[in-house]
Amino acid sequence: MKKPLKALSLSVLALVSHGALAQAQSNNLDTALKKTGPNVIEWRRHIHQNPELGNREFETAKYITRHLKDLGMEVETGIAHTGVIGFLKGGQPGPTVALRADMDALPVTEQVDLPFASKATTQYNGEEVGVMHACGHDTHVAMLMGAAEVLAGMRDELAGNILFIFQPAEEGAPDGEEGGAELMLKEGLFKKYKPAVAFGQHVTSSLPSGVIGYRSGPLMASSDQFKIHVHGRQTHGSRPWGGVDPITAAAQIVMGTQTLVSRQIDITKEPAVVSFGIIDGGVRNNIIPDSVYMNGTIRNFDMDNRQEIFKRLKVTAEKIAEASGAAAKVEILEGYPVTVNNPTLTEEAIPALKAAAGDDKVMVIPKITGAEDFSFFANEIPGFYYFLGVTPKGTDPSTAASNHSPQFYVDESALKIGTRAITQLAIDYLDRQQNQ
């Protein structure tokens, strides 16, 4: 059925008007981003030089709070110990978009020769250690501070609200404490602000500077810890039959658990890994000890497989120990769930990423067996998480010092792209909701 000429003309005019508005908005955004770019670098360097471990980001939180208050936002502090929330109310009604950056550093002594390199030290597990933003969380905070400045300047144009989440303890809370995204949710963050979607980004040395990597569905693995105590009966090494050897039982458990993934889990669904990191038992070469302690990690990309691995690991360890006359106690410490990108939100996000980085610098990347507690947010509402390359031109990303390395290096020219991307994602989402 043909549209009436008048209606068709109005449609064309609307499209032209919308296109002109979009172009004007893009120009204004470019101007604002150019203005805040040097500030983002300055903020990043300050935070890099003054790193703090998880649940101890006191000065970082004060630094962020001052900035958000200067922008005229509603600000909450002390969320999940040291977290900071900024709430920007748009000029028009609409949904709330959550943008998240993590704040904590790592117990790593920096080895990068920079004028703003970290010289900070602290006590960690009873030892004096260096503290460094070896995972790039300093850049995440600075880029989100930049996005906050740009979006605050556009508040009258926004058809909705922005929730800026500056999150502590992504690397994990200290022993005996809760923290991170999980604690923020437990304290009612999303119940209070009711965001419709959440966006987050992470810098990485595995991509060239300015390149953005993403994928739909499972992006990062779940991360869980297991502890196994194998109990035998001590005896002289020359008379193993006089006791029960927990060391041989432990060795058999290590080998037996390797069949969990290769023979017992349906890996056509998603890959998984079970790895041992600690085996500790005995004090002398000719004494078979009473017990052996083992500790390891489980990584996988399917929540059903995750539970199946938990169950089978327990059964395997207990039965192998029993067959040796020993006993095994298995403890599973659940960590971060699978980080899953909402497929619809992922597809809708691609134009914003390309606007920030360029069509040829946005790519689908493989699954990552590292973990992220942004996963807790994405379990509650549709989420989208992506990676921003920071390895400078002339350095091969495959050999560059990785995140968590004392030599991890960030090419700061990528930060303008990350700031644009996280800002554009929020603007585009609110525009889509307004035009539906």
Place of tokens 């105590």: 229
- pLDDT at site 24: 61
Strands 339-341 and 217-220, sheet pairing:
antiparallel
CB 376 within 8 A of CB 223: no
- pLDDT at site 26: 75
Are 354 and 326 in the same domain?
no
Range of the domain at 322: 222-336
Q: Does any domain span residue 376? A: yes
CB 52 within 8 A of CB 105: yes
CATH of the domain at 128: 3.40.630.10
- pLDDT at site 54: 98
- pLDDT at site 402: 98
Are 69 and 198 in the same domain?
yes
Q: DSSP labels for 56-125?
A: --HHHHHHHHHHHHHTT-EEEEEETTTEEEEEEE-SEEEEEEEEEEE---BS-------TT----EEEET
Q: Does any domain span residue 371? A: yes
CATH of the domain at 271: 3.30.70.360
The whole model's pTM is what?
0.92
CB 299 within 8 A of CB 193: no
| Active site (catalytic) residues | 336, 412
User: How many angstroms separate the Cα of 325 from the Cα of each of 47, 241, 246, 250, 388?
Assistant: 55, 11, 9, 12, 52
Domain boundary among 304, 320, 336: 336
Q: Does any domain span residue 423? A: yes
Angle between helices 343-357 and 415-435 (to 10 degrees): 130
Among 133, 40, 43, CA closest to 409: 133
Please work out, in degrees rounded to the nearest 5, the angle formed at the alpha carbon of residue 357 by the alpha carbons of 351 and 361.
95
CB 131 within 8 A of CB 107: yes
Are 408 and 366 in the same domain?
yes
Are 26 and 105 in the same domain?
yes
Longest Cα–Cα distance in the chain:
100
Are 330 and 365 in the same domain?
no
Q: Does any domain span residue 408? A: yes
Strands 92-102 and 159-167, sheet pairing:
parallel
Amino acid, single-letter form, for residue 317: A
- pLDDT at site 8: 47
Are 187 and 75 in the same domain?
yes
Are 47 and 59 in the same domain?
yes
- pLDDT at site 267: 86
Domain boundary among 321, 336, 351: 336
Q: Does any domain span residue 4? A: no
- pLDDT at site 20: 54
Question: pLDDT tens digits, the chain, 436 residues: what are they?
Answer: 444 545 545 544 444 444 554 666 678 899 999 999 999 999 999 999 999 999 999 999 999 999 999 999 999 999 999 999 999 999 999 999 999 999 999 999 999 999 999 999 999 988 999 999 999 999 999 999 999 999 999 999 999 999 999 999 999 999 999 999 999 999 999 999 999 999 999 999 999 999 999 999 999 999 999 999 999 999 999 999 999 999 999 999 999 999 999 999 998 999 999 999 999 999 999 999 999 999 999 999 999 999 999 999 999 999 999 999 999 999 999 999 999 999 999 999 999 999 999 999 999 999 999 999 999 999 999 999 999 999 999 999 999 999 999 999 999 999 999 999 999 999 999 999 999 8
Are 62 and 82 in the same domain?
yes
Q: Does any domain span residue 393? A: yes
Place of tokens 């960690």: 124
Strands 212-214 and 362-364, sheet pairing:
parallel
Are 212 and 228 in the same domain?
no
Q: Does any domain span residue 302? A: yes
State the Cα–Cα distance between residues 60 and 76, nearest whole angstrom: 14
How many separate domains does the chain show? 2
State the Cα–Cα distance between residues 99 and 377, nearest whole angstrom: 11
Domain boundary among 336, 367, 396: 336
Are 271 and 126 in the same domain?
no
Contacts of residues 284-288 at CB distance under 8 Å and 24 or more positions apart, as own/partner, are 285/237, 286/236, 286/237, 286/238, 287/234, 287/235, 287/236, 287/237, 288/232, 288/234, 288/235, 288/236, 288/237, 288/240, 288/243, 288/245, 288/246, 288/247
Are 48 and 135 in the same domain?
yes
Residues whose CB is less than 8 angstroms from the CB of residue 82 and which lie 6 or more positions away in sequence, other chains included: 55, 56, 57, 58, 60, 61, 103, 168
